[in-house]
Amino acid sequence: QSNVTIGGIVDINLAHGSGSIANKSFVGSSGIGASQLRFTGVEDLGGQLRAGFWLDSMLQPDSGAGTPTNTNNQASGGAAALAGSQGLTFNRRSTLSLGGPLGELRLGRDYTPSYWNLPVYDPFGNLGVGSTHTLNGAITGATGVRASNAIAYYYGHAFNAFATGQSLQGLNVGAMAYAGENASNAADAGSGNGASVRVGWTAPAWSVAAATGRTRNVAGDLRQTNLGGAYDFGVVRVMGHLVRDRNGAVTAKGYLLGLTAAVGIHQWRASVSAYETDAPGRPKATKLAVGYVHNLSKRTAVYATGAVIDNEGGAAFGLNQAVTAPNARSRGFDLGVRHSF
Amino acid sequence: QSNVTIGGIVDINLAHGSGSIANKSFVGSSGIGASQLRFTGVEDLGGQLRAGFWLDSMLQPDSGAGTPTNTNNQASGGAAALAGSQGLTFNRRSTLSLGGPLGELRLGRDYTPSYWNLPVYDPFGNLGVGSTHTLNGAITGATGVRASNAIAYYYGHAFNAFATGQSLQGLNVGAMAYAGENASNAADAGSGNGASVRVGWTAPAWSVAAATGRTRNVAGDLRQTNLGGAYDFGVVRVMGHLVRDRNGAVTAKGYLLGLTAAVGIHQWRASVSAYETDAPGRPKATKLAVGYVHNLSKRTAVYATGAVIDNEGGAAFGLNQAVTAPNARSRGFDLGVRHSF
Amino acid sequence: QSNVTIGGIVDINLAHGSGSIANKSFVGSSGIGASQLRFTGVEDLGGQLRAGFWLDSMLQPDSGAGTPTNTNNQASGGAAALAGSQGLTFNRRSTLSLGGPLGELRLGRDYTPSYWNLPVYDPFGNLGVGSTHTLNGAITGATGVRASNAIAYYYGHAFNAFATGQSLQGLNVGAMAYAGENASNAADAGSGNGASVRVGWTAPAWSVAAATGRTRNVAGDLRQTNLGGAYDFGVVRVMGHLVRDRNGAVTAKGYLLGLTAAVGIHQWRASVSAYETDAPGRPKATKLAVGYVHNLSKRTAVYATGAVIDNEGGAAFGLNQAVTAPNARSRGFDLGVRHSF
pLDDT value, residue A135: 97
Query: What's the confidence (pLDDT) of residue A80?
Result: 84
User: Mean pLDDT over residues B290-316, rounded?
Assistant: 98
Specify the DSSP class assigned to residue B315.
Answer: -
Mean pLDDT of all residues in chain B? 96
Instruction: Enter the DSSP assignment of A322.
Output: -
In this complex, which of C41, C56, C179 lies closest to A25 when CB atoms are compared? C179
Is residue A1 pLDDT above 70, yes or no? no
Cα–Cα dist B124/C313, whole Å: 63
Q: Where are the alpha helices (DSSP H) in chain C?
A: 117-120, 133-136
Q: Using DSSP bridges, classify how beta strands A24-29 and A300-312 pair: parallel, antiparallel or unpaired.
A: unpaired
CA distance C141 to chain A (A): 15
* Res. A310 pLDDT band, cuts 50 70 90: very high
pLDDT band at B165 (very low <50, low <70, confident <90, very high): low
Task: Provide the shortest C-alpha distance from residue A329 to chain C (in Å).
Answer: 17
Cβ–Cβ of A71/B63 closer than 8 Å? yes
What pLDDT shows up at residue B163?
67
pLDDT digits (tens, 9 = 90+) for B70-121: 999 999 999 888 999 999 999 999 999 999 999 999 999 999 999 999 999 9
C-beta separation of C45 from A298 below 8 A: no
* Chain A CB contacts of B321 below 8 Å: 183
Which among B45, B71, B96 has the least Cβ separation from residue C63?
B71
pLDDT band at B1 (very low <50, low <70, confident <90, very high): very low
- What is the ipTM metric for this complex? 0.95
One-letter amino acid identity for B275? Y
Residues of A in contact with B298 (CB under 8 A): none
Q: What is the rounded distance in angstroms from the CA atom of residue C123 to the CA atom of residue A197?
A: 62
Q: A240: closest CA among A93, A137, A122?
A: A122
Chain C residues with beta carbon closer than 8 angstroms to that of B195: none
Q: Taking a C-beta distance cutoff of 8 angstroms, is the pair C315, C325 a contact?
A: no
Q: What's the full length of chain C, in residues?
A: 341
Hey, are the CB atoms on B63 and A81 less than 8 Å from each other? no
Closest partner CB to B85 (pick from A79, A92, A185): A79
Residues B310 and B313: their CA atoms lie apart, in Å, by: 10
Section B278-296 average pLDDT: 98
How far apart CA B192 and CA B182 sit, in angstroms, is 8
Q: Which residues of C65-101 are buried (b: 16+ CB within 10 A; e: fewer)?
A: bbbbbbbbbbebbbeebbbbbbbbbbbbbbbbbbbee
Q: For A264-283, b where at least 16 C-beta lie within 10 A, e where not — what string?
A: eeebbbbbebbbbbebeeeb
HEC profile of C38-68: EEEEEEEEECCEEEEEEEEEECECCCCECCC
User: How far is residue B307's CA from residue B134's CA, in Å, rounded to a whole number?
Assistant: 14
Residue A196 reports pLDDT greater than 60: yes
What confidence tens digit (pLDDT) does each residue in A83-122 have? 999 999 999 999 999 999 999 999 999 999 999 999 999 9
pLDDT of residue C276: 98
Query: What residue spans of B143-205 are helical by DSSP H?
Result: none
Give B160-173 as a 3 state SS string. Answer: CCCHHHCECCEEEE
Residues 6+ apart with CB under 8 A from A22: A322, A323, C183, C184, C185, C186
Report strand pairing: C284-295 vs C266-277: antiparallel
**What are the C-alpha distances in Å from B38 to residues A104, A289, B4, B58?**
27, 42, 10, 9
Cα–Cα distance, A268 to A291 (Å, whole number)? 6
Q: Which residue of chain A has the CA closest to B66?
A: A89
Chain A: give the shortest CA distance to residue C320, in Å: 23
C-alpha angle with apex B156: B155 to B157, nearest 5 degrees? 100
Q: Are C27 and C62 in contact (CB under 8 A)?
A: yes
| Contact yes or no for B82 and A86 at CB 8 A | no
Query: Residue C199's closest CA among C223, C219, C229?
Result: C229
Q: Which residues contact C33 (CB under 8 A, 6 or more apart)?
A: C9, C11, C127, C338, C340
Per DSSP, C167 falls in state B
Mean pLDDT of B132-137: 97
Query: Chains touching chain A at 3 or more Cβ pairs under 8 angstroms?
Result: B, C
User: Chain C closest CA to A85's CA: distance in Å?
Assistant: 4
* Beta carbons of C55 and A59 less than 8 Å apart: yes
**Other beta carbons within 10 Å of A206:** 15
Answer yes or no: are the C-beta atoms of C41 and C7 closer than 8 Å. Answer: no
Nearest CB to C77 within list A7, A66, A84: A84
pLDDT of residue C79: 87
> C263 burial class (0-12, 13-18, 19+ CB within 10 angstroms)?
exposed
Determine the pLDDT at residue A79.
87
Going from the C-alpha of A83 to that of each of B14, B82, B187, B204, C79, the distances in angstroms are 34, 13, 32, 54, 6
Using an 8 Å CB-CB cutoff, list chain C residues near A8: 4, 39, 55
Give the tens place of pLDDT for each residue, A211-243.
999 999 999 999 999 999 999 999 999 999 999
Secondary element (H or E) of residue A133 = helix A133-136
Cβ–Cβ gap B179/C66 under 8 Å: no
Torsion sign over Cα C116, C120, C126, C132? negative
Determine the residue of chain A that is closest to C106 in CA distance.
A12
pLDDT band at C320 (very low <50, low <70, confident <90, very high): very high
Q: In this predicted model, what pLDDT tens digit does every residue of A35-75 receive, in sequence order? A: 999 999 999 999 999 999 999 999 999 999 999 999 999 99
C51 by Cβ neighbours in 10 Å (0-12 / 13-18 / 19+) ranks as: buried
Distance from CA of B278 to the nearest CA of C (A): 31
Give me the sign of the Cα torsion angle C109, C110, C111, C112. negative
Q: What angle do CA B164, B92, C127 make, to 5 degrees?
A: 105
Residue of A nearest to B2 (CA): A1
CB contact under 8 A, C4 and A341: yes
Q: Which amino acid is at B152?
A: A
HSE (side-chain half, CA atoms, 13 Å) at C170? 4
User: How many CB pairs lie under 8 A apart between chains A and B?
Assistant: 171
3-state secondary structure B286-300: EEEEEEEEEECCCCE
Q: Which residues contact A300 (CB under 8 A, 6 or more apart)?
A: A337, A338, A339, A340, C43, C45, C51, C98
Q: Which of C221, C173, C216, C179 is nearest to C197 (CA)?
A: C173
> With 60 as the cut, is the pLDDT of residue C1 above it?
no
Please tell me the distance from the alpha carbon of residue C149 to that of residue A24, in angstroms, as a whole number: 13
Q: Which amino acid is at B177?
A: A
Q: How far are the Cα atoms of B148, B225, C213 from residue B256, in angstroms, in the given order?
A: 27, 14, 65
Chain B: which residues have CB within 8 Å of chain A?
A: 5-8, 10-14, 21-27, 37, 59-66, 81-89, 296-297, 299-300, 302, 321, 323, 336-337, 339, 341
> What are the chain C neighbours of B59 within 8 Å (beta carbons)?
none
From chain A, pick out residues whose CB is under 8 angstroms from the CB of B87. Answer: 66, 81, 86-89
Tell me if A82 sits within 8 A of C79, measured CB to CB.
yes
User: What pLDDT is stored for residue C164 in this prediction?
Assistant: 66
Mean pLDDT across C101-124: 97
Chains B and C form CB pairs within 8 A to the count of 170
3-state secondary structure of C221: coil
Q: Is C27–B81 a contact, with Cβ atoms under 8 angstroms apart?
A: no
Share of chain C above pLDDT 90, in %: 95
What percent of chain B is helix, strand and coil (3-state, nearest 5)?
Answer: 5, 55, 40
For A189, residues 6+ apart whose C-beta sits below 8 A from its C-beta are A182, A183
Distances (CA, A) of A170 to A101, A173, A202, A204, A246: 15, 10, 5, 9, 30
pLDDT in tens, B308-337: 999 999 999 999 999 999 999 999 999 999
| pLDDT for residue A266 | 98
Task: Report which residue type is found at A240.
Answer: G
Question: Which one, of C55, C52, C53, lies nearest residue C36 by Cα?
Answer: C55
- Angstrom CA distances, C22 to B193, B204, C133, stand at 17, 52, 20
Model pLDDT, residue B162:
81
Closest CA to C223 of C113, C145, C144, C276: C144
Distance CA A211, CA A115 (A): 8
Cα–Cα–Cα angle for A176, A178, A230, nearest 5°?
A: 35
Q: What is the nearest CA distance from A174 to chain B, expressed in angstroms?
A: 18
d(CA C252, CA C137): 10
Domains of chain A in sequence order = 5-340 (2.40.160.10)
pLDDT tens figures, C266-314? 999 999 999 999 999 999 999 999 999 999 999 999 999 999 999 999 9
Which of B38, B71, B159 best probes binding to C when mutated, by most C CB atoms within 10 angstroms? B71
**pLDDT at A163 exceeding the cut of 70:** no
What are the start-end ranges of the H helices in B93-236? Answer: 117-120, 133-136
Looking at the predicted structure, is the pLDDT value of residue C38 above 60?
yes
Beta-ladder partners of A46 = A49
Alpha carbon of A260: minimum distance to chain B alpha carbons (Å): 33
Sort strands A330-340 and C49-58 into parallel, antiparallel or unpaired: unpaired
Contact list in A for residue C51 (CB cut-off 8 A) is: 296-297, 299-300, 337, 339
